[in-house]
Amino acid sequence: MKVSFLRRFWVTFSAYVVGFYASIINRFHIRGDERIPSAGGVLIASNHISAYDTIFLPWAVMRKHPFQMLWAPAKEELFVKPFQRWIYSSWGAFPVRRGRDVRAGKAINDLLLEQKVMLFPEGTRNRQGVLGKGNRGVGKIIYDTRPTVIPTALIGLNRWKFPGIGQQGKVVFGAPLDFTDLYDREDCKETHVLITERVMTAIADLLKQEGAFVQ
């Protein structure tokens, strides 16, 4: 998908404004971003603990890869008001209906052929920081598109207040996951579940390494 330089400039500028608040005014640390490929289909699969996640992740990715898009499905309620719809859409978000949304699923698959996409496999936010069960649909997306999958752990943002100064938080990007053995299996629900479980296990391992795993 071709994206105009003006739009990419706007997205990068916005990300750096967010980054000033996140990492200068506050203390949002970014680790492992060198593991994110500069080209090709990339899926950033993260836990979801705060509303900050959706704007801090783009900053964490674009700091290393400026002028690239990080696309993201978002709940359709965010696109009801015209101004909000324009803002979110300009940043690379697109609406997803609750339940099975075939149109949004196709959009994600198409983007993952050559673009970066962020997803929260749990499908919902947990403000207590508890890592929930992953949605099997994420496994289907990965099976169909074969992107580079980067497990990602967001930590501490569920305790942030706005406005705030000096608040501590971090994002840790893990090593790309290998699904070779699962890609050899039949395209079925069981395979999709196994792929999803591997993603969630990798996210859990990152949280455990940081002493931030909550059950």
Whole-Å CA distances, 129 to 104, 150, 156, 159, 191 = 27, 20, 8, 9, 27
Task: Round to whole Å and give the CA distance between 94 and 75.
Answer: 8
pTM equals 0.94
Task: Round to whole Å and give the CA distance between 74 and 72.
Answer: 6
What is the residue extent of each domain of the chain? 5-209
pLDDT given for residue 168 in this prediction: 97
Asked if pLDDT for residue 101 goes beyond 90, the answer is no
Asked if pLDDT for residue 177 goes beyond 80, the answer is yes
Asked if pLDDT for residue 167 goes beyond 70, the answer is yes
Residues 62-81: pLDDT tens digits? 999 999 999 998 888 878 88
Whole-Å CA distances, 76 to 18, 22, 48, 54, 124 = 23, 26, 17, 14, 13
Q: How confident is the model at residue 210 (pLDDT cuts 50, 70, 90)?
A: very high
Partners of 75 in beta bridges: 96
Three-class secondary structure of residue 136 per DSSP: helix
Partners of 70 in beta bridges: 116
pLDDT given for residue 199 in this prediction: 98
Class of domain 5-209: alpha beta
Mean of pLDDT values over 204-214: 95
